[in-house]
Amino acid sequence: MRIDFDQIDQKLKYKVMTASVIPRPPALVTTVDSHGEPNAAPFSFFNCFSDEPPIVALGIGRRASGPKKDTGRNIEETGEFVAHIVDESMFEGMLKTASALPQGINELPLAGFETIESDHVVPPRIPQAPIAFECRRYVTVQCGMARDIVLGEVLAAHIRDDLWDGGREYINWGGKFPIARLYGTLYASLGEVYSGQAPDPDELLK
pLDDT in tens, 43-74: 999 999 999 999 999 999 887 666 788 899 99
Residue 104 pLDDT grade (very low, low, confident, very high; cuts 50, 70, 90): confident
**CATH tag, 23-204:** 2.30.110.10
What is the value of pTM for the model shown? 0.93
Q: Mean pLDDT in the chain?
A: 93
Residue 193 pLDDT grade (very low, low, confident, very high; cuts 50, 70, 90): confident
* pLDDT the model gives residue 101: 85
| C-alpha 161: how far from chain center | 21
- pLDDT of residue 120 exceeding 80, the answer is yes
* pLDDT the model gives residue 66: 62
C-alpha distances in angstroms, 39 versus 15, 32, 153, 171?
Answer: 27, 6, 20, 28
Domain ranges of the chain: 23-204
